[in-house]
Every structure is written in structure tokens, then in C-alpha cells.
A and B are shown apart, each in its own frame.
Chain A
Amino acid sequence: MSTNFVELKQVSREYLIGGQEYKALNKVNLTIKRGELVVILGPSGAGKSTLLNILGGMDSPTSGSVEVDGHEISKYTAKQLTKYRAEKVGFIFQFYNIMPTLTAEENVKIVEDVSTTDKDALEVLKSVGLGRHAKKFPNELSGGEQQRVSIARAIMKDPALLLCDEPTGALDSKTGVEVLKLLRKQADENTTVVIVTHNAQIAEIADHVIYLKNGEIERDTINKKPKTIDEVSW
């Protein structure tokens, strides 16, 4: 955890909503180191999702620069951003977003269609504890199991950056803990994990906590002694 893996300089994102200009992010400066588990906190409308979208190459800043792994993705074309998403970024969504027409294994294997990976989908599924559910379709799985399929899909490509939008938001506390353990494990394996959440408790396990308010960073703290997930009272 020495070099800056992510670096945002003076990043702003403005939207026109009903003819009114709305600043989702306002001159945000921020750095994230490789292998950090980052938690972004903040109330609704603070700009958390906008920040995540920009980091994931799904949105571009109106001004400022975004560097990921030494590449200025804020200057990328749509095609370059697609490649960036396919090769560098893993996504975990609040509502899992796994394909209902594919089995658990196929949902993980889908990654092979867009990026090169040495990993075996079944092995990845086993690593998230779903080996025996590989042939099941999403509607045969519980919410937690579906989220684990989503995590397996995200880590299948061995992403440099794992972006999670409220990954435990739709889960009960026990399942949420399991999911967080998996994310912690990824960060420990040198994947940069960014979690956007409303849940302040999750911040206790993070290496780095960013608190956003009104599109600006209100607090940016490094957690020198993050708690283990089992230590966190849920």
C-alpha cells in the first residue's frame, strides 16, 4: 500500500436537472492506494454513486482528472472505457444484477466473453462457497447466494478495482457479514475495493474512509487499525 492507485484531481460533475444546474461532485481531490478497502459514506445526494460511476468508467467528470493505475481514464473514449470496465473493474451491485437466464456458473463465466482470465468459473464459485449451486438459476438462489454469484463474477477477471454499491443493502446481517468477509479477502489479496454505503458500521472495517457531503469531501481518514468483521457490532 505505497503508491497511489487512484488519483482524483479537482473532479467535478454537473448535471442539468429540469433546467437547473446540479453539482453532484464539486472539485473533489482524492487518492486511494492499491489494495485498500475504501468505504465511501454520506447521506443521499452526497455524490457517492457519482464518484463510484466515475471510478467505474460509467460516467465522466465535467472537469478535473481521474487517474487509475497510472492511466487518465477521464480522457478515455467510450470504447476505451468499455475496455477499461471489461479488464480492470469488477462491479458488485446492491440488487446483484446477475442474468436471470444464466446459471450461477454461467453468470461467472460470462466474464470470459469480455476479458482474458486464467481462473476457472467453478473454482471461483467454490471460493465464495457456491460450488454446489453452480448449475442453479438465480431464482433458485437466496439473496445472499445471488450476491455471492455477483462477487464471483466480479473477481473472476481478477480486477484491479472492485467497486461495490451498497453490497449488503439487500441482505440480512448474517449474509451481509459473509459478503463483507469476501470483500475484505479481496482487498487482502491486493485488489482495491471501494464500497459505497449508508451503513456507518462498515466504515470500521475499512482501511480508508471517505465522507462525502453535498458533492464535496467532508472527511478523508485513514483507519490505521481497522476492525475485523467479526468485531463489528451489526
Chain B
Amino acid sequence: MLRDMRKNFSQFITIFLMLFIGMMAYSGIKAYMTGMEVSADKYYVDNNLQDLDAFGKLNDDTVADIKKTEHVQNAEGKLTVLAEVKNLDSRDLQLNFIKSNDISKFHVVDGEAFDNNKSGIWLDEYFARNNDLKVGDTLKFDTNGVKLEEEIVGLIYTPDHVGYVKDDTEIFPTHDKYGYAYISQHELPEAMRFYSSVMVDVENEDDLGAVKTALTDNVDGVVSAVYTKDQYSAASYQGEIDEGKTYVGIFSSLFIAIALLCVVTTMARIVRKDRMQIGAMKALGFTDGRIAWHYISYALLLAILGTSVGLLLGYFWFGNFFLDMQMTYFEVADYHTVTSWDVWLVMTLVIVATCLTCYLVVRSYVRQPAAEILRVERPKVKSRNLRFTTSKIFNKMSFSTRWNIRDIIRNKARTITGVVGVVGCMLLLVCGFGIKDTMNNYLETELSVINNYKYRLNIAEDTSSKRINELMDEYSHNSSKTLAVEVKKDGELKLNSILINDSGDAVRTLDKDWKPMNIPEDGVIITQKLAENEGLKLGEEIEWHVMGEKEYCRTKIVGMNRDPQNQNITMTRKFYESLGREYLPDSIYTDDEVGDLPEGVASIQNIDAIRDGMNMMLDTMMSMVVLLVVFAALLGAIIVYNMGVLSFTEKDYQFSTLKVLGFSDRKIGRVFIQQNLWVAIVAIIIGLPVGYAVTDFIFKEAIEDSYDFGVFVTLSTCLISSLGTFLVSFVVSSWLTRRVAKIDMVKSLKANE
């Protein structure tokens, strides 16, 4: 067996590499995805993530009432405010004032655990790390007239801040600019010791619905209760896992399937090449089992070696690389990669499939008498299949063209395997680049087409209408208001939002073709994706109520729009006011420069800063895409090389005859390269639409319900993928033609086909 390895060393290495890359990509991507899920689940349990968040006018009495509610295990209130860090440049923190920390417990990275009697601030570790802050540093705030100066006493993660963004214009966190922090309620004056929300820990998951209803119906002050798993933190993280499951499944399965296909066919061809040796062994009296074991043990060793190394590197490196990338957005304590049972199953299947292939090919030989095995194996192709290639058109073709056409017809399986292998790699390339293109297109739509302003002024909650009007006069009359609503559908209430858009051209609404449209004024419009998700139709009436209000409104759907990021309801100010409601904007959009935070403005968003954040996120994503593309290209190159080696070995005899007849090495090389390039071209032609379809599938099926990305593959992606595949095929084939010079012509005189 060791001699066989040495004899077929390049084949041994390519099979090993295909198994290794396929398994590494599969197990690595799976390990990261499963790791995300398992790590978060443990984190939620260990740190007691709340089950419900109750909102309204809340205080200690409300908390006490909630605790008394049936099936409620515990409840803790918190006051959440947005505050600018005075002693840092353009940095905002979500400040949470709490009394105790038994729910959504801190995971302390550095410093002390929470103590209600202690002054100081427990700061988001990501924010601290990105701003070079450490325990002992001081942060200053001025929130709602209360001046605070707090020393950092702990750096923490909390399970209800796994994912967080400042507002709905951000899809990924910007940890350098925005974070969260906790301060003891004692630091606030008595008058401010109330809560904006209460975290509720429910005894049993089955009781969640009942407790939610009980809180809104029976507890004074509670306006709404929301499942924590539906809140941004858990939902965005879960969304990432859910969307990952589809595209990760596609990517990882493609890698392993392509690798397996090539390995299995290669093993079969290696064994077939040894037909004479098998015959000789049988003639010498070796038992069928012993002959089979000779080849199976070779396959077994290779498969175990390749998949094991792949599994280990997938777990320790590939998976960790992806997980680390994900965890630049999300904060999960003690996250780690996890190898799930299906990875072991796939590994076993790969090993079994490789060995089984060997066994089946050997069996097909050893079943015959030794004399029969030793007889020349006739090509199975029938001449009538080649007959059409003797017609006039074919007669005008060059020798190499005719030779290659017929060689392909004679060796259909080999050609199809080659095409499938290269199509797979082409598909991976188009997918990888296509994801990047689609994300770029999304950002372009979001930040240049939809949001057409420089600054967004977020009005503070308690700002008077007089002050709002002053702000509008000063900056712009382009404004909007967002309402958190619950929409009733089939008796169920679903959280959503309504955008009252009075922004002129500052926030554009896009139609089904992603072109700006006017919002009809006789009803509401909803996003196409929301309509699909909720089964809503044009002309249908929807029933909704603003969070905190008991009254329901019924409004007609008069149009549909598309939004890549927010699947919500939109109406004009005129229609909103026609419902008997007063319009007080919560956002003003302007292109004018805004200096210090104006009075009545809670925060200012700079679209360029958001763009920078998004670009950072894209850069991170790009490194993941690049890694996938690099390994796809590597796998592709190995497959092309392997197919080339096999193809060369199988044509060795014919090439050596051509050489004896006086064909130059270059001419023979051209015959060989031509066929490989044909395979590459066919694979490119098939791979482009298939790659597009898979990318489309990923974006249609995999992404969260809240996103609506139209797949977008640029011409440059098509060109790069096609040219890359073509070049790899050309370079590998050219490199292999060096073997022509080494052909032993003498062999051809004695060879026996």
C-alpha cells in the first residue's frame, strides 16, 4: 500500500487535498454556525436572559405587581436612556439604571460584579475595547439635566445586549461609536427612580403567552409586553443563525459534495488503472477479499487522513475564523466552535463512499476469472456514437478538434465529472462574489437611494411641539415619525412599525422595481416582503394599534413598496392626520451642517458615519467571502489538476504514440489543453446561471424576514469568476503538458491498450 502511495503520489496528494478542503470547509462552517447557536443558548441560560420585556409607566410598585403575577419567577426594572459621552468625541451610550442584577446577569470580563450600593459604571466591554477604555477610567454624561461622572468599575457583556444598534438605520453594530452601560439606580435623583421597562423571568416557557396577556391586561402601568426573543438583540442574532443555516448549508454542502464527487471518481479510475495488477494478483491466488482489502485500505487511510485533518482544521481554524468575524458584531460570552453530530455523519459518509467505490470497482473485476481480467478492456463506446463525427463539417475540423470531440464522446463520465467539478467551483465563486455584490447593492440602495440626506436629527422624547417647529424652521421641514405598533392578523398580534413619511425627497419610498415612488394618500402602503410574510393583499384592510394605546385603527392597503431593511407600513402625514392624530415628528432630515447637539435633539446621525460603519461591516464580510472564494478557487484548481492528471494518464499511451509518429511536444500539449479548456468553457457557461440561481436562492430563502435583498451579481463578478476559472484551467493544463516531454516513447512500442 505504501508503494502504491509512492507510485501515485500526486494523485494521493490531490485526493487528500480535495478531502481535506471539502471537509475543512464543511466542518468549519458548520462548527461556527453550531457554535453560534450553542454558545448563545448556554449564555442565555447561564446569565438568565429575561423572557419578556414589559413597557409603560413603570416603577417599583409595578415591578412588585409583575412579580405577583402567576407563573412569573422574577422581575427587575430598568430605566434606559440614550446619552452622549461628554468626555469622548461623538460617542453615545445606552445607559441602563438598575437596582439589582439577577435577570440578564452581567458576564464580567474585568472589574467587579454589580452592586447596587456602589457608584460607578459597568461598561460594555466591546465599546471599551474599541475606545481604549479600562477599569478606573471616568466617563461623563449629561442626561435629562442630570450630570453624571462615573468611574468604570466593570467591563461586561449582558445577554440582552448580544446584538444592539443605535437605531433602525443601522443593520450592524458600530462598537466604537455606540455601546451600553449599567449604573446603579442610586446614582439618580429620587424623582428619576422609575423604569422604562421591566425584565420578566417566567417560570415555564409554555406560560409565556399567558403571562404576556396578564401583564398587559392586569398590571397597572404596563402598556405592552414583548417576547425578549423578538427584541433586536436576540432576534438579530437568531436571524443571523437562521439565515446562516441556509447559505451555510448550501456552501458547506457544495464544498463537500464537489470534493466527494471528484474523490470517488478519482478512486474508481485509480483502481481501474490497476486492472492488470488485479488480474495478476488473482492469477497468483490472492483471494478476492484480500485484493479488495488492498484497495479499500488505501482508500480508507486516505479518507480518514483527509477528513480528519479537514475536521481538525475546520474546527480549530476555519470555523474559528468565521466565528471571530461574527463576534465582531455580536457579544456572546465564552463563544466557541462546536462540532455537531451531522459533521461526524458526513465524515463517516465520505469515508464509506470512498471505500465503497473502491470495493465496487474491485468487485466488478474480481468477480471475473483472472484470464478475463487480464484481457484488454475494450472501450464501451459504440462506434455508431462517433459516426456522426465523420460527416462533412467534422472532416473540415483539425485533427485535435476531431480527436478531442471523439475522446469526450468516448469518455463521457470523465468529461461530465470534470464539468461538474468545475461548475461547482464556478458556482462557489459566483456565490461568494455575488453575496458581496448584493450587499454592496443593498448599501447603495439604503444609503444613496432611500436615505437622501446628510444628517438625521433624532428628536428627544420630551421635546415640545414649539421646539420641534423651531428645529424644523432652523434645519428642514423634511421629517418623519415612527410608531411602534401591533398589527392584528388572524387574532394574533404582531409587532411592527409605521413610518409617517413627511420627508419630501429625504427618505424615499421605492416601488417593486426599486425605483422611487409617491406614497398614495388614501391609505397605507406596506412592503412587498411584509405582505408575503403575513399574507396581506392590496385592497385588504389591516387592524393595528399604537403600542401603549388600546384603540385599534383599520386602514386599507393601497400600495406596496420595497425596502431592503425595514419591512413595515408607511403612510403620508396627510393620511395620518386624517385619522384624527396629531403629527409630531421624531426625526428631521437636513443637508445643513449641524454643530453641537441642539436643544431638543437626542442624537444626530451622520449618513457618512453610517456609511463608514457599513463599509467596515462589509470589509469584515469580505474577509469571510475572500476566504470562501480562496478555498473554492483552490478546490477548483485541485479538481482541474486532478482531472488533468487522470485524463493525461489515461491518454498517456495515445500521446506516446503521437510522439513516436513525430508530433512535437507542443502540438500534443495543445491537444490536451484544448480539451481541458472546452471543459472549462462548458463549466463556465453552466456555472454562471447556476451560481446566480444559488445566490438568488440564498437571498430569497435564507435572509431574515425583515430583509428584502434583490440578488445582484455584477458583470465584473461574472467576468472575474469566468476568467479565473478559465485561467486556472489553462495554467493547470499548461503545467501538466510539461509531462509530454517526459513521455517514455519506448513504452508505446510495448504498450497494450
Q: Enumerate chain A interface residues (CB-CB to B < 8 A).
A: 49, 52-53, 56, 58-59, 78-79, 82-87, 89, 91, 93-95, 97, 99-103, 106, 109-111, 113-115, 135-137, 139-140, 153, 165
List the B side residues contacting A106 at CB < 8 Å: 399, 402
Residue of B nearest to A91 (CB): B660
Q: Which of chain B's residues 733-753 have a Cβ closer than 8 Å to chain A?
A: 741, 745-746, 748-753
Residue of A nearest to B408 (CB): A101
- Tell me which of B657, B661, B662 contacts A83 (CB under 8 A): B662
B9 within 8 A of A: no
What does the 1/0 interface line of B398-426 toward A look like (CB < 8 Å)? 01001100110010000000000000000
- Tell me which of A52, A86, A97, A101 contacts B403 (CB under 8 A): A101
Chain B nearest Cβ from A59, distance in angstroms: 6
List the A side residues contacting B286 at CB < 8 Å: none
List the B side residues contacting A135 at CB < 8 Å: 390
Query: Could you tell me if B379 and A110 are in contact, using CB atoms closer than 8 angstroms?
Result: no
Query: Could you tell me if B660 and A59 are in contact, using CB atoms closer than 8 angstroms?
Result: no
Query: Could you tell me if A113 and B383 are in contact, using CB atoms closer than 8 angstroms?
Result: no
B482 within 8 A of A: no
Query: Could you tell me if B662 and A82 are in contact, using CB atoms closer than 8 angstroms?
Result: yes
Query: Could you tell me if A87 and B750 are in contact, using CB atoms closer than 8 angstroms?
Result: no
Query: Could you tell me if A93 and B664 are in contact, using CB atoms closer than 8 angstroms?
Result: no
Query: Could you tell me if B660 and A102 are in contact, using CB atoms closer than 8 angstroms?
Result: no
List the B side residues contacting A153 at CB < 8 Å: 661
Query: Could you tell me if B383 and A56 are in contact, using CB atoms closer than 8 angstroms?
Result: no
Query: Could you tell me if B383 and A53 are in contact, using CB atoms closer than 8 angstroms?
Result: no
Q: Which of chain B's residues 643-668 have a Cβ closer than 8 Å to chain A?
A: 653-654, 657-665, 667
- Tell me which of A94, A100, A115 contacts B379 (CB under 8 A): A100
Chain A nearest Cβ from B658, distance in angstroms: 8
- Tell me which of B378, B402, B657, B663 contacts A97 (CB under 8 A): B657
Query: Could you tell me if A87 and B386 are in contact, using CB atoms closer than 8 angstroms?
Result: no
Q: Tally of A-B residue pairs with Cβ under 8 A? A: 93
List the B side residues contacting A101 at CB < 8 Å: 386, 402-403, 406-407, 410
List the B side residues contacting A53 at CB < 8 Å: 745-746, 749
- Tell me which of B379, B383, B745, B748 contacts A140 (CB under 8 A): B383
Query: Could you tell me if A165 and B661 are in contact, using CB atoms closer than 8 angstroms?
Result: no
Chain A nearest Cβ from B343, distance in angstroms: 44
Q: Number of B interface residues at 8 Å Cβ cutoff, please give it.
A: 32
* Consensus secondary structure, chain B interface: helix
Query: Could you tell me if A85 and B660 are in contact, using CB atoms closer than 8 angstroms?
Result: yes
Residue of B nearest to A134 (CB): B390
Chain B nearest Cβ from A18, distance in angstroms: 14
Chain B nearest Cβ from A55, distance in angstroms: 12
Q: List 12 A-B contacts (CB under 8 A).
A: A53-B749, A78-B741, A82-B663, A82-B664, A86-B663, A91-B661, A93-B749, A94-B749, A97-B749, A100-B379, A137-B386, A140-B383
List the A side residues contacting B383 at CB < 8 Å: 136-137, 139-140
Residue of A nearest to B665 (CB): A82
Q: Which of B386, B660, B661 has the most CB of A within 10 A?
A: B661
List the B side residues contacting A89 at CB < 8 Å: 662
- Tell me which of A56, A102, A115 contacts B406 (CB under 8 A): A102
Chain B nearest Cβ from A122, distance in angstroms: 12
Q: How far does the alpha carbon of A140 sit from the alpha carbon of B378 in the complex, in Å?
A: 12
Residue of A nearest to B664 (CB): A82
Residue of B nearest to A135 (CB): B390
Q: How far does the alpha carbon of A107 sit from the alpha carbon of B521 in the complex, in Å?
A: 80
Given A103-B390, A135-B390, A113 and B660 contact (CB-CB distance below 8 Å): no
Given A102-B402, A136-B383, A49 and B662 contact (CB-CB distance below 8 Å): no
Given A53-B749, A56-B660, A58-B745, A139 and B667 contact (CB-CB distance below 8 Å): no
Q: Which of A59, A100, A140 has the most CB of B within 10 A?
A: A100
Residue of B nearest to A79 (CB): B664
- Tell me which of A102, A110, A139 contacts B378 (CB under 8 A): A139
- Tell me which of B407, B654, B662 contacts A85 (CB under 8 A): B662
Q: How far does the alpha carbon of A67 sit from the alpha carbon of B660 in the complex, in Å?
A: 19
List the A side residues contacting B753 at CB < 8 Å: 95, 97, 100
Given A49-B750, A85-B662, A93-B749, A113 and B657 contact (CB-CB distance below 8 Å): no
Q: How far does the alpha carbon of A137 sit from the alpha carbon of B657 in the complex, in Å?
A: 17
Query: Could you tell me if A114 and B379 are in contact, using CB atoms closer than 8 angstroms?
Result: no
List the B side residues contacting A137 at CB < 8 Å: 383, 386
Q: Besides the contacts A85-B660, A89-B662, A110-B661, what 9 more A-B pairs have beta carbons closer than 8 Å?
A: A49-B749, A58-B745, A58-B749, A59-B745, A79-B664, A82-B665, A114-B664, A139-B378, A165-B749
Q: How far does the alpha carbon of A52 sit from the alpha carbon of B750 in the complex, in Å?
A: 12
Q: How far does the alpha carbon of A170 sit from the alpha carbon of B407 in the complex, in Å?
A: 25
- Tell me which of A87, A97, A140 contacts B662 (CB under 8 A): A87
Q: How far does the alpha carbon of A18 sit from the alpha carbon of B386 in the complex, in Å?
A: 45
Q: How far does the alpha carbon of A95 sit from the alpha carbon of B654 in the complex, in Å?
A: 12
Q: How far does the alpha carbon of A106 sit from the alpha carbon of B395 in the complex, in Å?
A: 9
Query: Could you tell me if A114 and B661 are in contact, using CB atoms closer than 8 angstroms?
Result: yes
What does the 1/0 interface line of B687-717 toward A look like (CB < 8 Å)? 0000000000000000000000000000000
Chain A nearest Cβ from B50, distance in angstroms: 73
Q: How far does the alpha carbon of A183 sit from the alpha carbon of B407 in the complex, in Å?
A: 31
Query: Could you tell me if B379 and A85 are in contact, using CB atoms closer than 8 angstroms?
Result: no
Residue of A nearest to B395 (CB): A106
List the A side residues contacting B657 at CB < 8 Å: 93, 97, 99
Chain A nearest Cβ from B521, distance in angstroms: 73
- Tell me which of A93, A103, A110, A114 contacts B748 (CB under 8 A): A93
Given A49-B750, A139-B383, A99 and B654 contact (CB-CB distance below 8 Å): yes
Q: How far does the alpha carbon of A78 sit from the alpha carbon of B743 in the complex, in Å?
A: 12
Q: How far does the alpha carbon of A72 sit from the alpha carbon of B643 in the complex, in Å?
A: 41
Q: How far does the alpha carbon of A59 sit from the alpha carbon of B744 in the complex, in Å?
A: 9
List the A side residues contacting B663 at CB < 8 Å: 82, 86, 113-114
A-B pairs with lowest CB-CB distance, top 5: A86-B662, A101-B406, A85-B662, A58-B745, A114-B662
Residue of B nearest to A106 (CB): B402
Query: Could you tell me if A113 and B399 are in contact, using CB atoms closer than 8 angstroms?
Result: yes
Q: Which of A94, A111, A137 has the most CB of B within 10 A?
A: A137
Q: How far does the alpha carbon of A79 sit from the alpha carbon of B659 in the complex, in Å?
A: 11
Q: How far does the alpha carbon of A2 sit from the alpha carbon of B177 in the complex, in Å?
A: 100
Query: Could you tell me if A139 and B379 are in contact, using CB atoms closer than 8 angstroms?
Result: yes
List the B side residues contacting A93 at CB < 8 Å: 657, 748-749
Q: How far does the alpha carbon of A103 sit from the alpha carbon of B379 in the complex, in Å?
A: 15
What does the 1/0 interface line of B276-294 toward A look like (CB < 8 Å)? 0000000000000000000
Q: How far does the alpha carbon of A110 sit from the alpha carbon of B658 in the complex, in Å?
A: 9
Q: How far does the alpha carbon of A95 sit from the alpha carbon of B748 in the complex, in Å?
A: 9
Q: How far does the alpha carbon of A102 sit from the alpha carbon of B409 in the complex, in Å?
A: 12
List the B side residues contacting A165 at CB < 8 Å: 749-750
Q: How far does the alpha carbon of A102 sit from the alpha carbon of B653 in the complex, in Å?
A: 15
Residue of B nearest to A100 (CB): B379
Given A93-B748, A140-B383, A110 and B660 contact (CB-CB distance below 8 Å): no
Query: Could you tell me if A97 and B406 are in contact, using CB atoms closer than 8 angstroms?
Result: no
Residue of A nearest to B399 (CB): A113
List the A side residues contacting B661 at CB < 8 Å: 85-86, 91, 110-111, 114, 153
List the A side residues contacting B658 at CB < 8 Å: 99
Q: How far does the alpha carbon of A93 sit from the alpha carbon of B526 in the complex, in Å?
A: 80
List the B side residues contacting A86 at CB < 8 Å: 661-663
Chain B nearest Cβ from A172, distance in angstroms: 17
List the A side residues contacting B750 at CB < 8 Å: 49, 94, 165
Chain A nearest Cβ from B237, distance in angstroms: 59
Q: Which of chain B's residues 370-404 have a Cβ closer than 8 Å to chain A?
A: 378-379, 383, 386, 390, 399, 402-403
Q: How far does the alpha carbon of A52 sit from the alpha carbon of B663 in the complex, in Å?
A: 19
List the A side residues contacting B406 at CB < 8 Å: 101-102
Q: How far does the alpha carbon of A94 sit from the alpha carbon of B386 in the complex, in Å?
A: 26
Q: How far does the alpha carbon of A188 sit from the alpha carbon of B421 in the complex, in Å?
A: 56
Residue of A nearest to B741 (CB): A78
Q: How far does the alpha carbon of A146 sit from the alpha carbon of B609 in the complex, in Å?
A: 78
List the B side residues contacting A139 at CB < 8 Å: 378-379, 383
